[in-house]
Amino acid sequence: MGDEGHSGNTVSIVRAVAMDTQWRWLTLEYTVVVIALTLGSSELFLPQQAPGHGVAKFFGLSLLSIGTVYGTFWLVKTGASAEKIRSVVRISLIFGVYGIFVAGIVAISHALGNSTLFDSLFLLAAGGLGGEAIGVLVGDWYTDLQQAKQETQKRLQREQDVTKRFSVLYRVFRHNLRTQVNILLGYTALLEASDHADEADEYVDIIQEHLTQLESLAENANRLRRVWETEDQRETKLVSELYEDGLIPLADEFPEATVRIETPPDCPVDCHPFAHWALEEAAKNAIIHTGDDSTVEVTARRNGSDVVIEVTDDGDGIPELEQEALAAQSETALTHGRGLGLQTIYWTVRASGGEVDLSDGRSGGAVVSMRFPLASQSE
């Protein structure tokens, strides 16, 4: 309950700050509009004489003011972000200052001439309000253009990253494939030369084991490809659903394995559509790389605004080379290790906005910790 309250308060504070920033800029915009409208129509409120028709001037300035107010309210109504509203208001005020500057030049030039029948204050107000109104339109267009540019740059960068990963994946896959094929060819030759049934059976078992590893290598390479191609996709899943999708397939594949599963917390997480592959691969790695009499344990707990799922075994632990590769957390965090299982875990959890941590268990073995962010409605 404490964590839920803390997370909810944090989200509320962030939203309140965003709303406060948004309305602070809008208040500044509207204050400038009211001041300009009041000064430009001052003859309606003060006992003074000025050239022109006071009501007509007030009506004209009001139209310019309505353009600015309507434009900014339209941004709020369409759900524009506080950052966009800030940018639009800033551009609008800059245009307003520019309008006043142009109007000031006209007023000064007129005052230096022979005619004196001219309302300089009205001209300055009209220039400022007109500049603001045009600035809202230009600011909206300019901000959308900048956002589109940033999104395009992000997409291009993401495509470059994915291309780089595919290049590394190809090299790693080729290396592991060549290694497995060489092993298979070697044991096939030994099998052909063997005259003893027991020895031949042993070679057959070894060949089957490496064929299984080769199949797993191909499957994980395909999974990595699918994760990278869809890494910007997210969905909400219950932790229990991740358990079901990730662990149930292992019951059929490893019927003799001992896997203790702790009941997960009943809460949703934001994750990649293939997030269950990370849990499946972590448990599968633990089962394969420990002895027949070993036990694999799967637990989950809430930790602040995240859910941490841990897969623990009592085997020999994870090789240092594999741990260093994941610790680097780079775009090319792929190694010529014992397969692509840990890489599938890393990239799937990363695509979910989470983190992976590898550590040693208290009594030996390895612990794979996968951190997933809680869904917003549960915070």
The CATH number linked to 325 is: 3.30.565.10
Domain contains 56:
yes
Measured CA distances, 174 to 39, 41, 171 (Å) = 76, 79, 5
Q: What's the mean per-residue pLDDT of the chain?
A: 79
Asked if residue 123 and residue 18 are part of one domain, the reply reads yes
pLDDT tens track for 72-111 = 878 888 877 778 888 888 888 888 888 888 877 777 766 6
Asked if residue 23 and residue 154 are part of one domain, the reply reads yes
Lowest mean pLDDT among 8-17, 330-339, 347-356: 8-17
pLDDT above 70 for 15: no
pLDDT at 280: 93
Domain boundary residue among 159, 176, 199? 159
pLDDT band for position 4 (cuts 50, 70, 90): very low
Domain boundary residue among 136, 159, 182? 159
Domain contains 227:
no
Domain contains 244:
yes
Residue 216, token pair as written in the block: 């797993």
Asked if residue 124 and residue 250 are part of one domain, the reply reads no
Number of domains in the chain: 2
pLDDT at 376: 74
Asked if residue 240 and residue 151 are part of one domain, the reply reads no
- What average pLDDT does this structure show over 259-264? 85
pLDDT above 70 for 203: yes
pLDDT band for position 325 (cuts 50, 70, 90): low
Domain contains 327:
yes
Domain contains 240:
yes
Asked if residue 246 and residue 152 are part of one domain, the reply reads no
Asked if residue 155 and residue 8 are part of one domain, the reply reads yes
pLDDT at 331: 44
Asked if residue 265 and residue 347 are part of one domain, the reply reads yes
pTM of the model: 0.61
pLDDT above 80 for 142: yes
Domain contains 299:
yes
**Domain residues for 326?**
233-378
pLDDT at 373: 93
- What average pLDDT does this structure show over 170-176? 81
pLDDT at 299: 92
Domain contains 192:
no
Asked if residue 241 and residue 142 are part of one domain, the reply reads no
Domain boundary residue among 116, 143, 159? 159
Asked if residue 367 and residue 247 are part of one domain, the reply reads yes
pLDDT above 90 for 2: no
Asked if residue 153 and residue 6 are part of one domain, the reply reads yes
Q: pLDDT over 70 for what percent of the chain?
A: 80
Domain contains 215:
no
